[in-house]
């Protein structure tokens, strides 16, 4: 871990948004999963959520080897349980779907704590996601097609969220709880040592100002 790499890692972590998230409802195509994760990373989402009845998250080689290590992913068996979790965190629910009551996606206020729900490729958003939404939002189409690919739609909406949040100064300094920040920073910088610490039931060591480990428990002692 070089000082330059450490400082870049900290800069990215400082921009992570603990109160902006995405819920993908049973997204099946792995390339869409990979694209959703890349977008989450790009706009500073700290944790992405997915509805997966079997508790498994669709795997893609680009997910496992790249973005997955920068964005935490949590699976829920149902949309309802995911929404309950969001409500407990005080998040507004915005569901991307075309309905009689939908508003233009640019009219929503993303500076509020927000969970965006996008539906599956074939069925779109579920009735539960639509009924429980504080607002249904849509991307107005000017051509013959009725909707965009789920990953493209999510990217447009989340970059609008990032634009609003940047204007409001929400990326200017870390907003993560201190313990979450320290844990995540160590896992990003030293994933293999972090795994060994978890397996051994050890607390992560502290890092110095240049990102070096203080008192590495796995370092050979003279």
- Identify whether residues 200 and 160 lie together within a single domain: no
- Identify whether residues 110 and 187 lie together within a single domain: no
pLDDT in tens, 174-213: 999 999 999 999 999 999 999 999 999 999 999 999 999 9
Residue 65 domain-assigned (yes or no) = yes
Query: Is-contact 193 202, C-beta < 8 A?
Result: no
**What pLDDT sits at residue 30?**
81
**What pLDDT sits at residue 62?**
54
Q: Name the nearest CA neighbour of 37 among 151, 161, 180.
A: 151
Residue 112 domain-assigned (yes or no) = yes
User: Alpha-carbon distance 155 to 43, whole Å?
Assistant: 9
**What pLDDT sits at residue 96?**
95
Residue 82 domain-assigned (yes or no) = yes
Query: Is-contact 142 150, C-beta < 8 A?
Result: no
- Identify whether residues 107 and 185 lie together within a single domain: no
Query: Is-contact 94 115, C-beta < 8 A?
Result: yes
For residues 119-146, give the mean pLDDT: 88
**Averaged pLDDT score across all residues of the chain:** 90
Which residues constitute the domain of residue 58? 17-167
Greater confidence (167 vs 64) lies with 167
Q: What is the CATH number of the domain that holds 154?
A: 3.40.1280.10
- High-pLDDT (> 90) share of the chain, %: 73
- Identify whether residues 96 and 38 lie together within a single domain: yes
From 167, 184, 202, give the residue that closes a domain: 167
- Identify whether residues 209 and 117 lie together within a single domain: no
Number of domains in the chain: 2
Residue 210 domain-assigned (yes or no) = yes
Query: Is-contact 68 37, C-beta < 8 A?
Result: yes
Sheet strand arrangement including 114-118 = 72-76, 47-51, 20-25, 114-118, 92-96, 135-138, 103-104
User: Alpha-carbon distance 32 to 58, whole Å?
Assistant: 10
């Amino acid at each position: 871990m070089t000082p330059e790499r450490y400082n870049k890692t900290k800069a990215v972590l400082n921009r992570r948004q603990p109160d902006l998230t995405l819920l993908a409802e049973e997204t099946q195509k792995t390339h869409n999963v990979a694209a959703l994760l890349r977008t989450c990373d790009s706009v500073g989402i700290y944790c992405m959520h997915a509805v997966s009845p079997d508790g498994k998250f669709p795997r893609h080689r680009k997910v496992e080897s790249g973005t997955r290590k920068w964005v935490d992913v949590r699976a829920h068996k149902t949309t309802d349980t995911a929404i309950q979790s969001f409500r407990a965190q005080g998040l507004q629910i915005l569901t991307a779907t075309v309905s009689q009551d939908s508003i233009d996606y640019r009219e929503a206020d993303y500076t509020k704590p927000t969970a965006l729900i996008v539906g599956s490729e074939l069925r779109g958003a579920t009735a539960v996601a639509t009924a429980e939404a504080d607002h249904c939002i849509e991307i107005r189409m000017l051509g013959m097609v009725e909707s965009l690919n789920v990953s493209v739609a999510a990217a447009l909406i989340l970059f609008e969220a990032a634009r609003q949040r940047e204007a409001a100064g929400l990326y200017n300094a870390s907003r993560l709880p201190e313990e979450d920040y320290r844990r995540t920073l160590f896992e990003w910088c030293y994933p293999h040592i972090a795994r060994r610490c978890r397996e051994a039931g050890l607390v992560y060591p502290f890092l110095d100002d240049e990102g070096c480990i203080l008192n590495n428990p796995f370092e050979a002692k003279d």
